[in-house]
Structure 1
């Protein structure tokens, strides 16, 4: 970007425009995944929707690459683009709750903790992810699943409306009655169709929940995962539990004698009477005696932020994902093999339930392509040391390649990595891809918004 173009943006926007010569540039270009090292020509920190409109017009007319950053939590670093412009929504962190209508309108730069804090004061919540530093924008546009999914569906299933700046710089509100084709595509289609400056969500009564963590030695993975795959899908919708392979961290509530040991685990959330959580989860003894089992009533916001400090911003990440509708014995053996060989103490595998309430939405009602999936899996190599980047990558790729034959073929778009091919994008959207490509042609025919897991516009 030449200096004249940079100056033009600086004079026409309320928010700051940060270039490589500015003191805050290096800090601004850092993202959650330290494995990402990109150098944009500029960051436009938008103060409001008008700033976003102006920024999109400037970038488009200058012929530059464009990326969009909400919470900056993108694993593959899609919120940055070398030598282009990042439209940064981070100043747009605000939440307005209507406790009577049970809705919340949320700024596009907000994080889950902003939404959770604002709604929790009214005893309300909407389904989101499990790490409170995650941005609401990327999570919602990719689908969004977490502790409340079995009870209340995916994040996007609770989206009522979205304010969007389109590729031509215009502003629209998309909902069931206005731009319904765009609204359909936004629910699962990622950041392909515009910059969402505000989301409006439906809220549900959630206050104190029953939280729980159960861990077994990793060599019990066959028994535990064999039990979990049968128990969880048949459990009441008030019971949520994601399965994990992990190394026990040196932190509460785990006893010191378990610190550093490889384990299989289930992390629980019970949205029924939290005083009954212990009785509801007494079944954890069935597959094998746990090495540790913990339950307690807990504010939902505390459960949402439980893992934040274990995996802070600035670590090396390499991840891939897949959807699963079953976990055959051969797949269990793969999980045991890689769980016993976690390459670093923070590397992990999670299987998140996406059944129950998420299955009650019709397959074609949203762009999400896997309403018949039961679990969304992620394989993640994680470590603070850049010297381990290749070790993380290789473990993750090998694990994914051995487990992929037991998958449904596609992945949750937010668990796709930085080197996914176009055939993987198609597999993620299944039969919805062509319809998404038609919507893309309508709203972004020149593919301005392509710094994402990209859906190419249908031919004209």
Structure 2
């Protein structure tokens, strides 16, 4: 074998074979799963998949690359093809505390990064769920709890090691292959297999303050009014998520999760305005920073008042082992605040969706109210990630366990998305609406339903991405994630 001794090439009957994914409906039956150890192993696997020397007799295989396997679209899976699974063997993290850098394997999960950096009093910008893969989230942009302070994950990417379809092992940075480095930061998995990310680290206190408040739906207007007052004066260390979900007894609830990256006493003062609104449940606690990004996963509808409430916001879209469809959109940040009538439309569209489709009653809408100043100060052409206007990120996570709903689930979630887009056009000025949505929150249904989807996703950066794609992946073997092609 030309692979490293501890690398693996697993067939369906082998014990190391796995097609498990975060979303059950994203699982496919691959003909083989390769688990490389080194970039050189990836070179061999790519040559095999393409029928290149020394594997000239091998016909070309459909290829997918898996890091954390978090996309519900199936982009990290392959039916009858070959999956390169980076997670088993390429998940090391090396921290240089003096340089404040983390050298992160392409198969790492964010919780592995957090656990390696926290002992040094450092943290990287990450996502909001610890078992998300570093690779997919980073290459698509990377929102998370620390992005208000430090920018998106891609704004903290210093260097990447990339294996291209031609078998080259390249370093991409501002100094080396800068065109590829530009494309990787927001252009997704279009250009090669990233076997290592070098991430900038930041000083991070060991604990922070959280408040998780649960309200009945009739409180929505006063919540939005108070949020609009708060966002005028808050600092970048003050964060919030607003979530629509089902609570006990199949009743809809609104969850407001508040995070202050600071001390408890100050946090209590900053968020007392929301506690004064009279939530039906209220839990405040000081938690380790580590806990924020990989909270324990418990189905919220059954345990909502029996566990620490701060565990809930991620829960509905964090559990492994259920079917999912994902959509998303941006809410423009405008000086007059978030229109209550727009949020009311979002809530009613979600409620109508889950009422009419009871098999999808686990579904949630989650609005991420991060401070946009840091990432929106970066020009839209500085990286491939074009969405640099000040916006709030919103995700609609449809979840269901009954496989009979799978065929229609994506269409139902797309319809919800389209309802919300129509409402956005009603409640915001036209020049603030055109941002679309975060590509990592876009599912296969969006791509299939939208003409020139990739062009519209990347907008003014699309032509340059196509040019770079032709240079590094002319045969489009890395075409599973919104391919930058005409």
Structure 1 residues 233 and 17: CA distance shift in structure 2, 3 A: farther
Structure 1 residues 218 and 307: CA distance shift in structure 2, 3 A: farther
Instruction: Tell me, yes or no, if the aligned pair for 1:97 and 1:119 is still in contact at 8 Å.
Output: yes
Is 1:350 the counterpart of 2:349 in the alignment?
Answer: no
Mapped to 1, the partners of 2:349 and 2:290 lie a distance apart of: 32
Mapped to 2, the partners of 1:13 and 1:85 lie a distance apart of: 18
1:246: how far off?
1.4
Structure 1 residues 395 and 275: CA distance shift in structure 2, 3 A: farther
Instruction: Tell me, yes or no, if the aligned pair for 1:410 and 1:424 is still in contact at 8 Å.
Output: no
Mapped to 2, the partners of 1:304 and 1:106 lie a distance apart of: 17
Aligned equivalent of 2:260: 270
Mapped to 2, the partners of 1:366 and 1:259 lie a distance apart of: 47
1:273-288 counterparts in 2 under 5 A? 273-285=263-275, 288=277
Mapped to 2, the partners of 1:414 and 1:163 lie a distance apart of: 21
Structure 1 residues 433 and 226: CA distance shift in structure 2, 3 A: farther
Aligned equivalent of 1:408: 434
Which of 99, 113, 137 aligns to 2:97? It is 99
Is 1:16 the counterpart of 2:8 in the alignment?
Answer: yes
TM-score w.r.t. length of structure 1: 0.89
Aligned equivalent of 1:191: 189
Instruction: Tell me, yes or no, if the aligned pair for 2:93 and 2:112 is still in contact at 8 Å.
Output: yes
Instruction: Tell me, yes or no, if the aligned pair for 2:389 and 2:435 is still in contact at 8 Å.
Output: no
Which of 72, 75, 91 aligns to 2:72? It is 75
Give deviations 1:143-176, integer Å, cap 9, x for gaps: 1111111111111111110010011011011111
Aligned equivalent of 2:244: 245
Which of 398, 401, 404 aligns to 1:384? It is 401
Please state whether the residue corresponding to 1:121 is helix, strand or coil: helix
Aligned equivalent of 2:84: 87
1:282-301 counterparts in 2 under 5 A? 282-285=272-275, 288-301=277-290
1:10-409 counterparts in 2 under 5 A? 12-14=3-5, 15-25=7-17, 28-61=18-51, 62-90=59-87, 91-206=89-204, 207-229=206-228, 231-232=230-231, 234-248=233-247, 260-285=250-275, 288-306=277-295, 308-309=297-298, 310=315, 311-326=318-333, 327-341=338-352, 342=354, 343=358, 344-353=360-369, 355-389=372-406, 392-405=409-422, 406=424, 407-409=433-435
Structure 1 residues 359 and 224: CA distance shift in structure 2, 3 A: same
1:397: how far off?
2.2
Mapped to 1, the partners of 2:63 and 2:398 lie a distance apart of: 28
Instruction: Tell me, yes or no, if the aligned pair for 1:322 and 1:408 is still in contact at 8 Å.
Output: no
Mapped to 2, the partners of 1:213 and 1:263 lie a distance apart of: 13
Aligned equivalent of 1:3: none
List runs of 5+ in structure 2 lacking aligned partners: 52-58, 299-314, 425-432
Which of 452, 464, 467 aligns to 1:423? It is 452
1:409: how far off?
4.7
Mapped to 2, the partners of 1:434 and 1:191 lie a distance apart of: 17
1:24: how far off?
4.6
TM-score w.r.t. length of structure 2: 0.85
Which of 453, 460, 465 aligns to 1:436? It is 465
**Alignment length (residue pairs):** 436
RMSD in angstroms over aligned alpha carbons?
Answer: 2.1
Mapped to 2, the partners of 1:120 and 1:454 lie a distance apart of: 36
List runs of 5+ in structure 1 lacking aligned partners: 1-9, 249-257
Instruction: Tell me, yes or no, if the aligned pair for 1:132 and 1:308 is still in contact at 8 Å.
Output: no
Aligned equivalent of 1:252: none
Instruction: Tell me, yes or no, if the aligned pair for 2:226 and 2:273 is still in contact at 8 Å.
Output: no
Structure 1 residues 221 and 387: CA distance shift in structure 2, 3 A: farther
Structure 1 residues 103 and 353: CA distance shift in structure 2, 3 A: same
Mapped to 1, the partners of 2:4 and 2:232 lie a distance apart of: 50
Aligned equivalent of 1:255: none
1:41: how far off?
1.7
Aligned equivalent of 2:306: none
1:188: how far off?
0.7
1:43: how far off?
0.8
Please state whether the residue corresponding to 1:51 is helix, strand or coil: helix
Mapped to 2, the partners of 1:234 and 1:371 lie a distance apart of: 21
Instruction: Tell me, yes or no, if the aligned pair for 2:162 and 2:194 is still in contact at 8 Å.
Output: yes
Instruction: Tell me, yes or no, if the aligned pair for 1:226 and 1:332 is still in contact at 8 Å.
Output: no
Aligned equivalent of 1:4: none
